[in-house]
Amino acid sequence: MLIGVAIVLAMSCKSTAQQSNATTSVETKSPNTDYKPAFAGQTRIKAVVTKTPFEAKVLASGLRSPWGLAALPDGRLLITEKPGIMRIVSQAGAVGEPINGVPAVNGRGQGGLLGLCLDPSFASNKMVYWAFSESLPEGNLTSVAKGKLSSDEKSLENVTVIYRAIPAYSGALHYGGRVLFSKDGNLFVSTGERSDMETRPQAQDINSGLGKIIRITTDGKPAAGNPFTGRENARPEVYSYGHRNVQGIAFHPVTGDLWETEFGPRGGDELNRIEAGKNYGWPTITYGIEYGGNKIGSAIQQKPGLEQPVYYWDPVISPSGITFYNGNEIAEWKNNLFISSLSGTHICRLVIENNKVTGEERLLSGENQRFRDITQGVDGALYAVTDQGKLYRIGKK
């Protein structure tokens, strides 16, 4: 049963991990490897603590594995749920009925109804874009669809699948699944390399849609100016490659740069600043190891021509959805990156200066929730959803 609630969870939201002094990392566990970072501050940066009093409230609970959320112009939240449901939740925590018209999803494993975003002109055109795992005769894949929210908000109209990250594969893992509008009106889409040894090398293949960040038009065509346009044996929609499983993409509010987070294996979660045409290394270089403990490939972490992560985590925090804070409620959070962490069961706050991470904080770690996505609302607060079905509002006390 879906339940709308509004419970204040914490008054100052200071966890034990956040009490570290200025020279100590928030991470207290031993790393999985003895790999050396490429530069100072690439991992285990000093801890920072938010000084402004803030509070977190559970606005709603009982959601079915919520995966993505977007703030509607009036402050309500449009939310996707992994089994294939899209619904609206009010600021008071009232949970709406499922919206009709969502295409069938392959909900096996990590698949389902994934990330979503609103058209920049949503207030007038009511267009919604979302990613999902789609079943085809030859396998399943990450697809992107669009549709118009009806005037009564009960259904999506004229739903069209505009993009499919081929090739299809009969697996259940690593779909990526975030979609994001850029200022030029194009869409960025993140995909995964589908995890298995059979598909893993495709992250390095620019003629494959797996393990990529994709840039397309709202009709699903390759966007003009993409780095591999006109190149033989290359997919023209590919923007960057060498990714493992990207579940977080966001634009820096000042520089406009695209940033992403992706899952490492056992160790080696990454934060990257994305540039067109660049190779981000997976699986040739990585700061992680196989889940079973074996080394990956040649067990190298650096190679000419392959991009280094701006930051990495070992052990992992499993970074999913991300957002930059550009509100005015909490000044010390301005332009900080917030990361919803699954296995880390916290919201990670990163202070970034001159494209380097200079501080890290763990928020809401006492809630023991697998945070799946986070966004900033129209009221300037942060909103986050968890695998356990909760919707949080995080704002000034």
Residue 274 maps to which CATH number? 2.120.10.30
Mean pLDDT of 214-233: 98
Q: 270-280: per-residue pLDDT in tens?
A: 999 999 999 99
For 171, 245, 296, 299, 364, the CA distances from 292, given in Å and listed in that order, are: 20, 19, 11, 14, 30
Distance of alpha carbon 132 from alpha carbon 145, whole angstroms: 8
Give the pLDDT of residue 20: 34
Give the pLDDT of residue 4: 47
How much is the mean pLDDT over the chain?
95
Banded model confidence at residue 351, pLDDT cuts 50, 70, 90: very high
Distance of alpha carbon 64 from alpha carbon 2, whole angstroms: 9
- Indicate the number of domains in the chain: 1
Q: What is the DSSP letter of 293?
A: S
Banded model confidence at residue 21, pLDDT cuts 50, 70, 90: very low
Neighbours of 118 (CB within 10 A): 19
The helix or strand, by DSSP H or E, that contains position 242, with its residue range, turns out to be none
CB-count burial class (<10 Å; 0-12, 13-18, 19+) for 293: exposed
pLDDT at 107 over 90: yes
Banded model confidence at residue 103, pLDDT cuts 50, 70, 90: very high
Banded model confidence at residue 6, pLDDT cuts 50, 70, 90: very low
Strand order in the sheet with 346-353: 319-324, 337-341, 346-353, 356-363
pLDDT at 394 over 70: yes
Domain hosting 340: range is: 3-396
Spatial neighbors of 218 by CB under 8 A, at least 6 apart, are: 119, 127, 129, 146, 162, 185, 186, 187
pLDDT at 322 over 50: yes
Q: Does residue 174 have an active-site annotation? A: yes
Are 95 and 60 a contacting pair, CB within 8 Å? Answer: yes
* Residues across the chain: 397
Q: Name the residue type at position 315.
A: P
Q: What is the DSSP letter of 113?
A: E
Mean pLDDT of 295-300: 98
CB-count burial class (<10 Å; 0-12, 13-18, 19+) for 177: buried
- What would the two tokens of residue 391 be? 């919707």
Give the pLDDT of residue 14: 38
Mean pLDDT of 116-139: 98
Mean pLDDT of 366-387: 98
- Which of the residues 174, 243, 252, 346 is marked catalytic? 174
Banded model confidence at residue 209, pLDDT cuts 50, 70, 90: very high
Distance of alpha carbon 92 from alpha carbon 86, whole angstroms: 18
pLDDT at 23 over 90: no
Distance of alpha carbon 132 from alpha carbon 243, whole angstroms: 19
